[in-house]
């Protein structure tokens, strides 16, 4: 097996621009966290080209111990796209989640782009909050000024 070169796509992956799932700002590949809001940056292509098979493979990542209990809100998203980003982040930790339009007493139906609540099973809520908070902790250590 020695001598086989990795597919070119793997090498090219690190070159792609990063985008913040929180505010959609673009960042150079050298950045890891959004300077504006501290969210971990994601590859634009990863968000845009997510296929059904990728979704299925992600589904296999879900940890059963995070799938129990009633759904509780762990985060809020400004819109459906941001909700998807947060859900992807949680899935990386093996936590299943669902996005639900934020409930109001009288939310009109036309607000399809409105805020979403991110819900996870109660057994995964603590891990989810940690997953969503760790970026803030690391942001403090951020780029060291020279």
Other C-beta atoms closer than 10 Å to the C-beta of 26 total 12
Beta carbon of residue 81, minimum distance to Zn ion (angstroms, whole number): 13
**DSSP string covering 76-142, please?**
EESSHHHHHHHHHHHHHTT---EEEEPP-TT--TT-TTS-EEEEEEHHHHHHHHHHHHHHHHHHTT-
Give the angle 132-136-77 at the CA atoms, nearest 5°: 45
- Name the strands in the sheet holding 18-19, side by side, starting at the edge strand that comes first in the sequence: 26-27, 18-19, 42-43
Structure tokens at 48: 């845009």
Q: Is 20 in the site for Zn ion (CB under 5 A)?
A: yes
Beta carbon of residue 23, minimum distance to Zn ion (angstroms, whole number): 3
Q: Is 85 in the site for Zn ion (CB under 5 A)?
A: no
| Options 19-27, 57-65, 87-95, 125-133: segment touching Zn ion (CB under 5 A) | 19-27
Q: Which is nearer to Zn ion, 34 or 119 (CB)?
A: 34
Task: Enumerate residues 36-55 that contact Zn ion by CB under 5 A.
Answer: 36-37
Beta carbon of residue 124, minimum distance to Zn ion (angstroms, whole number): 24
Contact 117, 128 (CB under 8 A): no
- Which of 18, 19, 22, 124 binds Zn ion (CB under 5 A)? It is 22
Q: Is 71 in the site for Zn ion (CB under 5 A)?
A: no
Q: Which is nearer to Zn ion, 26 or 92 (CB)?
A: 26
Q: Which is nearer to Zn ion, 93 or 135 (CB)?
A: 135
Query: Which residues in this chain contact Zn ion in the complex, by CB under 5 A?
Result: 20, 22-23, 34, 36-37
């Amino acid at each position: 097996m020695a001598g086989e070169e990795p597919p070119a796509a793997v090498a090219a992956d690190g070159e792609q621009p990063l985008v913040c799932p929180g505010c959609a700002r673009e960042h150079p590949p050298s950045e890891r966290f959004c300077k504006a809001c501290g969210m971990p940056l994601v590859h634009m292509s990863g968000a845009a080209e997510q296929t059904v098979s990728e979704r299925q493979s992600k589904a296999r990542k879900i940890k059963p111990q995070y799938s129990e209990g009633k759904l509780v809100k762990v985060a809020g998203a400004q819109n459906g796209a941001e909700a998807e980003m947060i859900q992807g982040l949680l899935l990386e930790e093996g936590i299943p989640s669902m996005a639900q339009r934020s409930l109001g007493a009288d939310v009109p139906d036309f607000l399809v782009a409105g805020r979403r609540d991110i819900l996870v099973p109660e057994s995964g809520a603590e891990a989810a909050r940690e997953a969503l908070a760790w970026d803030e902790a690391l942001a403090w250590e951020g780029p060291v000024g020279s």
